[in-house]
Amino acid sequence: SLLSIRDKIGARKRTTMKFTSNALCALSIGMSFVGADTDELLKLELPDDVIPIEDYVPLKDLPPVMLHEPQAMPCGNCTGHQKRSNHYEQKGEPTGRLLNSPTTPAGTASSASSPLVKLSINFEGVGDFQPMKGLYDSGGAVFDNFAIGLIDYDAGGSGWFANEPSKSTAMWFPNDGLGRDASFVRFTHRVKKVGFSYSSATALSRASIFLHSETTGVPKLVRIVDLKENFAGRNCTGDTYGIFCNWDEITIPALNNTYIGSIIFEGFEYCLDSDGCEDYYDPYDGGYYDDNYFEDGCCLESICSVMIDDLYYYVPEDAVEVGGIVSPVGGLAVDKVGGSGGDPHFLRWNQERRDSFHGECDLVLMTNKAFNNGQGLDVHLRTTIRHHYSYIESAAIIIGQSIVQFDVEHFTVAGMQHSYDDLPFSLSDGGHTFKIYKHIFVLSSGKEKKGVRFDLTDDSHIEIIFTRRFLNVNLQGGKDEFGSSKGMLGDFTTGEMVGRRGQKIDSFVDYGFEWQVTPEDPQLFAELRAPQLPNEKCRMPSVEKATSRQLRARESLLKEEADQACAGSKDFDLCVEDVLVTGELDLADVFF
């Protein structure tokens, strides 16, 4: 049995939990006591034949919860049906099968996507209660230490399940013993879809899947998928010892151009009042209990038996199977990120650091005439000087013949303004449908930013992130989508500054002037605004404003906060400068 602490132990209190027998499932209990933060201990009393992880666990030494800090769960005095749900629900944000956005239906492929190869694991041959780790690690999927195999009781094992998709073995995700009802599978190659059959989600103890992408080398939460209830209890037929007999298949595509670097299975405990514990059924001992069985009239349970079978995943065709091992050939294609934001800074393709252009004008962020089989794509920015800094005021995008303009307060399609409350919005052009919808972006720092996502293809999209009056515009995609693009983001392969005629440019300021919108470029913004070529080049900050900018950066009282907010950014100096000259501490977020 494993025990973890999810909240605070009250001041000057010592809590003891006694385990009288080894349990089938690893138990995770969330507790909350009224009191101040202390380093008090939780004492575990275990049977002699059970080796504890730690006899005494100092609270300050506990590892952080995987994705969020738990909320107080006052089970010592339950009033009403109080339940603990996931952190998105606690924040008041809607939960559902998909957290972030609509996605391409399973089985649908973009014309620009590489063909996919399906690989599968049915877990047959894994011993009962034997760890998965090491058995499949060379097949493109890596399992953690807590993922183990279970063989059906009818076949001589310990599993109380029936109707499993494969012959007799399933994989069991127990609690990991660190305060997280979770276990994970990490895919070592660029997986575009993953699927499996699962059993045991219950109404009282919901299970969810957290998907992470690691395209940039840093795990990033991209989606949460809740598993619907399918626990059968003692209602299984034809199998005396089967209580997990319902299996549902789920297929999860990667979130457009990101790939699934890992999936985390997490269950959530519910705290119920005494009424909620009436006729409570425990699947492990087959008994029914009422509220008198539970101390303080409160019932705690954890979903300690998320079982899956027939795991399958899709990798691009440029990964080949050799002797059962998936190996990359010539390196797998990696999606790239380019974009702009702040005062304004530009992250070119294949570059780690940003360059700055503080001029006021309309700029070609990217142009690609070959996009989507010749449909074409252009992205323009409108920058504005304000006091001693400049920023991106608007962004305009054209695909084929359709133009969309994004401003802080609204977006415009075909000359008609729309509120962001009108999203999601579908745009059709040339037989293709493009979707625009609200999106919560999880930054590498772990912070969340609200914005808009514009899906171009299955494997490319544009992100518009709002920070007060500032727009941050990012593009993400692969060579198939953006390989021949030009503009402020540079050459897609190298990130080099290449002019309109293919010439190399050394100065980024000169590069900005090179990519000012010309009369030959498509005119995307609803209204013309000076400066416009051929009459006037980009307006640059005056000497007085530049001097004021430098003095403000040196003298600002925000310096200490800016240093802290920007710590860890590769563009630390630019980040700090933006915060100081604008007075907007939130601008630090866009550098992560």
- The predicted-structure confidence for 340-350, as pLDDT tens digits, reads as follows 988 888 999 98
Mean pLDDT lowest for which of 272-286, 317-331, 499-513, 521-535? 317-331
Class of domain 116-268+302-319: mainly beta
Which amino acid would we find at residue 267? G
Query: What band does 398 get if pLDDT is binned at 50, 70 and 90?
Result: very high
DSSP structure class, residue 23: -
For residues 312 and 489, give the distance between their C-alpha atoms in angstroms, rounded to a whole number. 37
Mean pLDDT lowest for which of 69-73, 270-274, 459-463, 481-485? 69-73
**Is pLDDT above 90 for 293?**
no
Which amino acid would we find at residue 480? D
Buried b (16+ CB within 10 A) or exposed e, 279-295: ebeebeeeeeeebeebe
Query: What band does 167 get if pLDDT is binned at 50, 70 and 90?
Result: confident
**Is pLDDT above 60 for 499?**
yes
Query: What band does 537 get if pLDDT is binned at 50, 70 and 90?
Result: very high
Q: Where do the structural domains in the chain lie, given as residue ranges?
A: 116-268+302-319, 336-515, 548-590
CATH value of 336-515 in 2.60.120, 3.40.50, 3.40.1000, 3.10.20? 3.40.1000
For residues 491 and 502, give the distance between their C-alpha atoms in angstroms, rounded to a whole number. 10
Query: What band does 1 get if pLDDT is binned at 50, 70 and 90?
Result: very low
Contacts 24+ apart (CB under 8 A), 12-20: 12/38, 12/40, 13/40, 14/40, 14/41, 14/42, 14/43, 15/42, 15/43, 16/42, 16/43, 16/44, 16/45, 17/42, 17/43, 17/44, 17/45, 18/45, 19/44, 19/45, 19/46, 19/47, 19/50, 20/47
For residues 211 and 264, give the distance between their C-alpha atoms in angstroms, rounded to a whole number. 6
Residues 232-258 pLDDT 10s: 766 777 777 777 888 888 887 776 556
Token pair of 307 as six digits: 């079982």
Buried b (16+ CB within 10 A) or exposed e, 21-35: eeebbbbbbbbbeee
| Side-chain-facing half-sphere of 316: CA atoms under 13 Å | 22
Q: Which residue has the higher pLDDT, 350 or 418?
A: 418
pLDDT at 548: 54
For residue 531, is the peptide bond before it cis, meaning its omega torsion is within 30 degrees of 0? yes
pLDDT at 288: 52
pLDDT at 225: 77
Residues 121-132 pLDDT 10s: 888 778 888 877
